Amino acid sequence: MTELSRRKFIKNAGALAAGFTIVQSHVLGKALGHVAPSDKLNIAGVGVGGMGRRNLANMKTENIVALCDVDWRYANKTFQDYPKAERFRDWREMFDKFGPSIDAIMVATPDHSHAGVTAHAMTLGKHCYTQKPLTHSVYESRLLAKLAKKYKVATQMGNQGNSFDWCREIAEWIHAGAIGEVTEVHCWTDRPIWPQGLMKPSGDMAVPKDLDWNGFIGSAEMRPYNAVYTPWNWRGWWDFGTGALGDMACHIMDPVYWALDLKYPSKVIGSSTLSNLYSPPHAQIVEYTFPARKAVGNVKMPEVKVSWYDGGLLPPRPSELAAGEMMGDSNGGIIFIGTKGKIMTGCYGMNATLLPKSRMANFTKPKAKFARIPGGNGDIWNTNAHEQDWIRACKESAGNRKESSSHFGFSGPFNETVVMGVLAVRLQGLHRELLWDSEKMQFTNISANDKLNIVSVDDFKVIDGDPTFDRRFIEMNAQEAANEWVKHTYHNGFSLPPMPNS
């Protein structure tokens, strides 16, 4: 370099330095598609009065920057947890006014609002942790899985048992051939523990001053406020929740879905106590049939029937259990039936054992096949393993990311299966096993002429000592009803982003 060129270089470098702004490492990292583990995400919570509060507590390693809830009285404890967080009633306003400050969101609204919030957040490039059930409908589950893939965001469904060792151990036992080829599985729960089998309420009530009733209704059909709908009791109404099946199958069927490498069922049938137009029944049974899958190692994966029970109903009792011995645990359980034996677990797949239990004395557990999640071997109610696994994925670049355990590519198809069981119960009046075309997301054996009669009024009184029943039915076109329940009509100005092509 000549003296002239050296002086010119120094002069230009000095001018450049005079106008140079130091960029903080976390900003540079985000610009490059990666957040260093030492940096913190800016997380917003949508639906923070119930389970959302627990999820946020398990994310407090990060910055909780915004809180959104339609019921500020119910959410007040969470507001007090994070006094510096911005507060909103409407998630759309939150994104409009505060969106650039948000890296990721936690969604724990009623079921019918999950998809709308989550889908729009992903189109804005936000990472999403969404409570179970992932969505209210089959179509919404398919949409979220495709949007997550398109926008390359880190995702997680809030079925926290998925991050625990139990799921992995059960899969390892079955893949090692511990009970041969599994042909039948039974899953059950003690839920519901909220009112179900309810009729449409009557009478007017004043909307509480701290509740945004229009915000709660969201994309559902508008109706007058009634205290039977919220908080929490929304699970017992078809328009807002998915009953005991949606609440707990995402937990209890998870080890089944994982261990047997399931995707979409080919057939489904439901039965229940009295079903009506408005509210899930008190108790129900759903039987799914999954086609044969590719063998895992030396273990074949033949056609398998997976049965679900709730409301106090239980599967047939295994003869291998001693008299007086409980099936599963007080919250539910799973029984896998194979060609060479059985496995029984408690709720969430906890405390798996071969049946009869005496087989455990000589059973050598197979070598670990699936990576464990840090914190996944502890108390399910006192660990942040599931949330932290998602946070770890959020901080990794899309090209090098290890997906979180229940990312939407896994939990989307799984949730489709769960909410399809809701359809089977609602369509049980057709008196047939329903055949499912997973590619088209439709039942193939419901014709345009099929009718469905559903209870719309169910009243009972004793008049002058005599019982008086008033049970009425509404007739619906079964095909139109099924299509509506697969893909909901959105009301009140709410909408979903379009379905990606791939």
As a whole number of angstroms, the distance between CA 117 and CA 46 comes to 8
DSSP letter string, 475-488: EEEHHHHHHHHHSP
**Per-residue tokens: 179:** 């009970």
User: pLDDT digits over 419-462, tens only?
Assistant: 999 999 999 999 999 999 999 999 999 999 999 999 999 998 99
Question: What's the one-letter identity of residue 94?
Answer: M
Range 411-417 average pLDDT: 98
For residue 38, what pLDDT is reported?
59
DSSP letter string, 111-129: HHHHHHHHHHHHHTT-EEE
Range 196-202 average pLDDT: 94
Residue 491 main-chain phi, psi, to 5 deg:
-115, 175
CA-closest candidate to residue 208, choices 67, 75, 42: 75
Show Cβ contacts of residue 358 under 8 Å, excluding neighbours closer than 6 positions: none
For residue 235, what pLDDT is reported?
96
As a whole number of angstroms, the distance between CA 373 and CA 481 comes to 42
pLDDT at 140 over 80: yes
CA distances to 32, 108, 372, 412 from 395, in Å: 11, 22, 19, 22
> Between 408-426 and 243-252, two packed helices, what is the crossing angle to 10 degrees?
140
**Per-residue tokens: 278:** 């408005």
DSSP letter string, 4-38: HHHHHHHHHHHHHHHT--PPPHHHHHHHTT---TT
For residue 37, what pLDDT is reported?
57
Residue 240 near residue 265, CB atoms below 8 Å? no
For residue 36, what pLDDT is reported?
58
**Average pLDDT value over all residues in the chain:** 92
As a whole number of angstroms, the distance between CA 406 and CA 415 comes to 11
Show Cβ contacts of residue 251 under 8 Å, excluding neighbours closer than 6 positions: 132, 159, 160, 161, 347, 348
Range 192-212 average pLDDT: 94
As a whole number of angstroms, the distance between CA 182 and CA 342 comes to 9
As a whole number of angstroms, the distance between CA 6 and CA 115 comes to 61
Range 10-28 average pLDDT: 34
Beta bridge partners of 290: 304
Place of tokens 């915000």: 215
CB burial of 356-368 (b: ≥16 within 10 Å; e: otherwise) equals eeebeeeeeeeee
pLDDT at 34 over 80: no
| Three-class SS state of 277 | coil
| Three-class SS state of 66 | strand
Structural domains in the chain? Answer: 27-162+386-410 (3.40.50.720), 164-376+412-428 (3.30.360), 433-486 (no CATH)
CA-closest candidate to residue 142, choices 170, 112, 119, 167: 119
As a whole number of angstroms, the distance between CA 208 and CA 193 comes to 25
Q: Helix, strand, coil shares of the chain as percentages rounded to 5?
A: 35, 25, 45
For residue 502, what pLDDT is reported?
75
Residue 452 near residue 277, CB atoms below 8 Å? no
CA-closest candidate to residue 244, choices 281, 271, 298: 281
Residue 354 near residue 179, CB atoms below 8 Å? yes
> Whole-structure pTM over 0.85, yes or no?
yes
For the chain, what is the largest distance between any 2 Cα atoms, rounded to a whole number of angstroms?
115
**Per-residue tokens: 34:** 């990666």
As a whole number of angstroms, the distance between CA 124 and CA 458 comes to 46
CA distances to 125, 134, 288, 474 from 259, in Å: 32, 20, 16, 42
User: pLDDT digits over 324-334, tens only?
Assistant: 999 999 999 99
Range 125-144 average pLDDT: 98
As a whole number of angstroms, the distance between CA 411 and CA 254 comes to 9
For residue 11, what pLDDT is reported?
35
For residue 35, what pLDDT is reported?
55
For residue 5, what pLDDT is reported?
38
Read off the DSSP letter of residue 239: T
For residue 8, what pLDDT is reported?
36
Range 310-320 average pLDDT: 97
At residue 204 the predicted structure's pLDDT band, cuts being 50, 70 and 90, is confident
Residue 239 main-chain phi, psi, to 5 deg:
-70, -20
Show Cβ contacts of residue 123 under 8 Å, excluding neighbours closer than 6 positions: 147, 151, 497
Read off the DSSP letter of residue 491: -
pLDDT at 24 over 90: no
For residue 30, what pLDDT is reported?
45
Taking the alpha carbons at both ends of the chain, their separation in whole angstroms is 55
